Amino acid sequence: MAKLLGVDFLDVIFVASATEANNLMLQGAVKQYHRLNKDQKTELPHIITSVIEHESVLAVCRDLEEQQLARVSYIPVDHNGFVGAAAISRALRPETILVSVMYVNNVTGAVQPLSEIGAIIKSFKKDKLSPKHYSQYLPRELLYPIFHTDAAQAIHSLELIELAKIGVETMTISSHKIYGPKGGGALAANFPISLGLAPCLIGGLQEFGLRAGTPDLPNIVGFARAMSLVRQEIKQEIKHAKAIRQQLLQGIIKAYPRAVVNSHPPYIDGVCNISFPGFGLEELLYRFDQRCIAVAAGSACSAKALNPSHVLRAIGLTDSVALSSVRFSFGRYTSKQEVSYCLEQLPYILS
């Protein structure tokens, strides 16, 4: 896994989920900052993230704010769902320790401009080393800000995953998103990760001291094997998802011309968000379910929620339109026959 991500094996930390990896990244970075600066009067550490992140990032940020452990800037997105690199640049401060922007949005499939954001962060850090500013920082502060991405939705959908080539320094990945065992995740870094993080789960010295507890070895082996297979077949995976998506979209627009596609390029083909004006969310989910078709209101983590998606609100959709939106997702095991069945049932679902 380290080889595929372009990092050292010492800097791949296995955890129980992508949610735990995100918690380790955000809480661990803040905890480490306070630990290193406990004897000094410093500003609260500052985090930059976007308004469309997964709840495992946003909820942690809100919790850190409530505990007065960090300040957070939430960067808005444009009407197509993309984070602006210029907005990240404007938000950077001397006390910024972390920037966390997801690689692929889990609701719309939008691929975020990580390379542009990474270049800005690299320039910001380089400026710290200039003769003009160097004396203002302690050596350990030159590590900041760390650029993190939640790439759980990207590993099976995009060819580029090596951290340095993307321009990020830490990355969250998930096992079940790549057909591996559920209950597995990892946080990878392209620098000595223990410099920037303190452990959140304390006890033993497993996972290089950053995640106590006996590792789930069978899960990790399955995770690694799944990742190896997915990366070997990534071109076929992308090609298959593209064909499925085109078939689905063409059929939906034909069956219901009022449908609105909320996923805008660049996107991954395995996720597509569509609004069906005139219907409510609960009604849509029920009607699809009655025809044995699995769609979602948003991510699987919010499957029981019937509120408008925070992502769709962020791109400017009204609550009524957002509540008529469902997410279709598919992968290597989704067949053209299954899509044909879905399209055959649409006239009954949308009647």
3-state secondary structure at position 147: strand
Q: Which one-letter amino acid corresponds to residue 336?
A: K
Alpha carbon 153 to its chain's center? 6
**Residues with a known catalytic role:** 301
User: Is-cis flag, bond preceding 145, omega within 30?
Assistant: yes
Q: What is the residue-wise DSSP string for 268-309? A: -TTEEEEE-TT--HHHHHHHHHHTT---BSS-GGGTT--SPP
For residue 5, what are the CA distances in angstroms to 36, 297, 348?
A: 29, 31, 46
Backbone angles phi, psi at 264, to 5 degrees: -120, 145
For residue 22, what are the CA distances in angstroms to 25, 183, 317?
A: 5, 14, 27
Instruction: Name every residue whose Cβ is closer than 8 Å to that of residue 81 and which is 6 or more positions away in sequence.
Output: 52, 105, 108, 110, 262, 263, 264, 311, 314, 315
What's the CA gap between 123 and 214, in Å, rounded? 40
Q: Which two tokens stand for residue 185?
A: 């995740």
What's the CA gap between 109 and 81, in Å, rounded? 9
Q: Name the burial class of residue 210, with classes exposed (0-12), middle (13-18) and buried (19+) by CB atoms within 10 angstroms of its CB.
A: buried
Residue pair 147/167 in contact by the 8 Å Cβ criterion:
yes
